[in-house]
Amino acid sequence: MFRRLLIANRGEIACRVIRTARNTGMRTIAVYSDADADALHVDMADEAYRLGPALAADSYLSIDRVLAVARESGAEAIHPGYGFLSENAAFAEACAAAGVVFVGPPPSAIRAMGSKIEAKTVAQDAGVPVVPGYNGQSQGRGDLKAAADEIGYPVMIKASAGGGGRGMRMVREASLFDDALDSASREAKAAFGDGRVLIEKFIARPRHVEVQVFGDSHGNIVHLFERDCSVQRRHQKIVEEAPAPGLSDALRKAMCKAAIDVARRVDYVGAGTVEFIVDRDAVTEDGGFYFLEMNTRLQVEHPVTEMATMAADLVEWQLLVAAGEPLPLPQKGIRQYQHAIEVRLYAEDHRRDFLPSTGRLDHLSFPEQGLLRIDTGVREGDTVTRHYDPMIAKIIASGRTRSQAIASLQRSLMKTEVVGPATNLPFLIAVLGHPSFQDGDVDTTFVHLHRAELMAASELTGPDALILAGVYEALAGREVAVRGPDPYSPWRRRDGWRGFGRAPVLHRFQDGDADATVSVTWDEDGLVVGLPDNTYRVSGEVMEDGAVRATLGRRTLKGRVIERGLERHVLIDGRARALVLRDPDAPSAQGDAGGGKLTAPLPAAVVQVHVEPGVRVARGTPLMVLEAMKMEHVIISPRDGVVTAVHFAVGQQVDEGAELVVLDTSDGGAA
């Protein structure tokens, strides 16, 4: 086994590898960009070396810089993690030339499976069914469009290199093909350095099922069964589980055999994942699945396989295989013992089409792990930047049955607390609680089909947040009833004391776009909390950590209030509501702040500008295209009007909230 291991990655990925490497007695070496100088993975490692600026191309993706650190640190092996250089054949070859072991498959396998076009050919040669489509060498617009016309719409345009939903577009009709092709190719080029695409027939109700495979240099290849990754947004996974619900034993066996056949075809060594599409409308007892792609690396969702099989630390297996050892277990020694489910907690705003969110993690708290597993690369006080993937943590739970695993994960998410950037935490809770998910009725259209219900279930609505905020203000002792020059005046007491009795103390909050006033009156039985639509008699208490308990009759309401200046973040069962304490005598802040200006929804780079001042546009017209975290975001006109100003050009960076375009809709008011 190796003595010194360099981890050529960051965040949760690097932390995951460091934990296993340290457990096996290795000295760990981290690398970091300027944006990650104070990151958790840097602190966890035994040594750490600067790579370069925040831009990934100048740091984590720089082969020369990574190998320079390997030479300086005396690393014997490099683990690339998943993402960045993990599927880069040139990097694997450069490691070998430098006398450093690359912890991953041979370059030949990476090249064969790194292109979706070539990978489909490998699968076909192995006798594995593939989705009908075009994977020819020509990238001419005419050839690609002719292929799409022959396949029949709708079709999927997919990046040949990479994955994660980047460079992927669904096209419903021929007239939309050219724009979709340009966008997919441009995004693929930005994300993977390769703008080539392939065309596939669009399958209306697909399940995304993948099989974990592992090979060694002694000719052994095994599978560790399958995972279902069908619950996705923006073609990217957010929930994964093993085993996949609802598969027949015959279908599971056929898919696992197909995965082994594909891996053998390229003499695979190391960890890999063979991904399939299962057509729900055409599935049979042992068929109806198609090869999608092979990821020649460890996957983000590998913990569900580890927990379901209870057989392996897959990172340890990678290190053993890279050191020339045989696989620790034969196929007959690998079984699925329990059910495991993983969710990806992202800094993103699910209410704004899952746009990435940035900012400081002012408060971050996870429940005790126990049977729960939490893989994270951040701590409270860290900042989620626009430079890298916005994942905060992977949270994984297991159970003897699927229902037990779901219930365990739900409880854990309800005890997870995040204050700072927007997160998808309440959305994940809503997914787990949806009847269709609990019944195992999932495919890749799940979020789209149930979006309205999921959005509604993820909101913290009703009076509870305001009640807890009122109790917090009354009992935490941070506010006074009346301001004045005399600090000892009895009228300053927070219980509303007056010579004639107790007056209500008013607490006014900005609640989103609205104002909400909560009155709290003290009496001998506790508090009377008055909201605009009702009054509640409450007995309550506030703990030092902001935990609030309020009893309303036979009902006890529990939550936490995190105070940041005038902000009051109310957290209840994994859902959050942000309130801002305001002066009760100040004028209302409500009003239209948007005017005719279109603003950036997130920090990004401008990659396309479609309009100029003086151009008349119709509602829905694309005005500008932004790129952030390797994903494109199209800014469209919300109404008919005339463009009067464009404030940014291609290549410029924009901050969240920056005014991009001004639109005059004089016939119908501001946009």
Question: φ and ψ at 623, to 5 degrees?
Answer: -105, -40
Residue 564 parent element (H or E):
strand 555-564
In this predicted structure, what is the pLDDT of residue 44? 98
Burial class (CB in 10 A: 0-12, 13-18, 19+), 642: middle
The CA-based dihedral angle spanning residues 171, 176, 182, 188, taken in that order and rounded to the nearest 10 degrees: -10
Question: φ and ψ at 262, to 5 degrees?
Answer: -65, -45
Instruction: Give me the residue spans of the domains in the chain.
Output: 4-103, 132-201, 204-337, 347-459, 464-582, 597-664
In this predicted structure, what is the pLDDT of residue 596? 62
Q: Given a cut of 50, is residue 491 above it in pLDDT?
A: no
In this predicted structure, what is the pLDDT of residue 638? 83
Residues in the chain: 671
Q: Name the amino acid, one letter, at 92.
A: A
Q: Given a cut of 70, is residue 486 above it in pLDDT?
A: no
Reference 436, options 276, 231, 289; nearest CA is 231
Question: φ and ψ at 178, to 5 degrees?
Answer: -60, -50
When pLDDT is cut at 50, 70 and 90, the band that residue 472 belongs to is very high
Share of the chain above pLDDT 90, in %: 70
The mean per-residue pLDDT over the stretch 81-103 comes to 96
Q: Given a cut of 70, is residue 478 above it in pLDDT?
A: no
In this predicted structure, what is the pLDDT of residue 1? 87
Class of domain 204-337: alpha beta
Class of domain 132-201: alpha beta
Neighbours of 333 (CB within 10 A): 11
Give me the chain's average pLDDT, please. Answer: 90
When pLDDT is cut at 50, 70 and 90, the band that residue 207 belongs to is very high
Tracing tokens 């983000």 back to the chain, one arrives at: 300
Three-state DSSP state, 411: helix
Who wins on pLDDT, 198 or 257? Answer: 257
Q: Which two tokens stand for residue 490?
A: 């009895």
Reference 166, options 187, 136, 139; nearest CA is 187
Kindly list the distances between the CA atom of residue 536 and the CA atoms of 56, 519, 553, in Å, as whole numbers in the listed order.
Answer: 54, 10, 9
Q: Given a cut of 60, is residue 496 above it in pLDDT?
A: no
The mean per-residue pLDDT over the stretch 253-273 comes to 97
Q: Given a cut of 80, is residue 48 above it in pLDDT?
A: yes
When pLDDT is cut at 50, 70 and 90, the band that residue 116 belongs to is confident
Q: Would you give the DSSP letter of residue 619? A: T
In this predicted structure, what is the pLDDT of residue 377? 97
Kindly list the distances between the CA atom of residue 133 and the CA atoms of 64, 115, 152, 317, in Å, as whole numbers in the listed order.
Answer: 38, 15, 10, 36
Most confident of 117-131, 432-446, 616-630: 432-446
Determine which of 142-151, 297-306, 384-393, 478-487 has the lowest per-residue pLDDT on average: 478-487
C-alpha span between 135 and 179 (Å, rounded)? 20
When pLDDT is cut at 50, 70 and 90, the band that residue 398 belongs to is very high
The mean per-residue pLDDT over the stretch 315-337 comes to 97
Q: Which fold has domain 4-103?
A: Rossmann fold (3.40.50)
Query: What is the tens place of the pLDDT at every residue in 584-607?
Result: 555 544 433 334 678 888 888 898
Question: φ and ψ at 628, to 5 degrees?
Answer: -145, 135
The CATH number assigned to the domain with range 597-664 reads: 2.40.50.100
Q: Given a cut of 90, is residue 634 above it in pLDDT?
A: no
As annotated, the active-site residues are 297
Q: Name the amino acid, one letter, at 204.
A: A
Determine which of 230-234, 358-362, 400-404, 482-486 has the lowest per-residue pLDDT on average: 482-486
C-alpha span between 671 and 658 (Å, rounded)? 16
In this predicted structure, what is the pLDDT of residue 639? 83
The mean per-residue pLDDT over the stretch 540-566 comes to 92
Burial class (CB in 10 A: 0-12, 13-18, 19+), 281: exposed
Residue 625 parent element (H or E):
strand 622-628
Percent helix / strand / coil, the chain, rounded to 5: 30, 35, 40
- Cβ-contact 125, 144 below 8 angstroms: no
The mean per-residue pLDDT over the stretch 518-546 comes to 90
When pLDDT is cut at 50, 70 and 90, the band that residue 526 belongs to is confident
Q: Given a cut of 90, is residue 635 above it in pLDDT?
A: no
Three-state DSSP state, 665: coil
Q: Given a cut of 50, is residue 483 above it in pLDDT?
A: no
In this predicted structure, what is the pLDDT of residue 583? 65
When pLDDT is cut at 50, 70 and 90, the band that residue 371 belongs to is confident
The mean per-residue pLDDT over the stretch 211-232 comes to 98
In this predicted structure, what is the pLDDT of residue 500? 44
Q: Name the amino acid, one letter, at 20.
A: T
Q: Given a cut of 80, is residue 49 above it in pLDDT?
A: yes
Q: Under CATH, domain 347-459 is a member of which superfamily? A: ATP-grasp fold, B domain (3.30.470.20)
C-alpha span between 366 and 73 (Å, rounded)? 35
C-alpha span between 535 and 539 (Å, rounded)? 13
Query: What is the tens place of the pLDDT at every residue in 154-198?
Result: 999 999 886 667 888 999 999 999 999 999 999 988 888 889 999
In this predicted structure, what is the pLDDT of residue 165? 75
Would the CATH topology of 204-337 be identical to that of 464-582?
no
Determine which of 269-283, 387-401, 429-443, 609-623 has the lowest per-residue pLDDT on average: 609-623
Query: In terms of CATH architecture, what is 464-582?
Result: 2-Layer Sandwich (3.30)
In this predicted structure, what is the pLDDT of residue 115? 84
When pLDDT is cut at 50, 70 and 90, the band that residue 669 belongs to is very low
- Find all residues with CB under 8 Å of 647, minimum gap 6, and list them: 658, 659, 660, 661, 662
Query: What is the tens place of the pLDDT at every residue in 133-142?
Result: 888 889 999 9
Who wins on pLDDT, 287 or 586? Answer: 287
C-alpha span between 507 and 567 (Å, rounded)? 13
Neighbours of 554 (CB within 10 A): 5
In this predicted structure, what is the pLDDT of residue 637? 86
β-sheet bridge partners, residue 632: 627
Q: Would you give the DSSP letter of residue 130? A: B
- Cβ-contact 490, 497 below 8 angstroms: yes
C-alpha span between 58 and 44 (Å, rounded)? 23
Three-state DSSP state, 549: strand
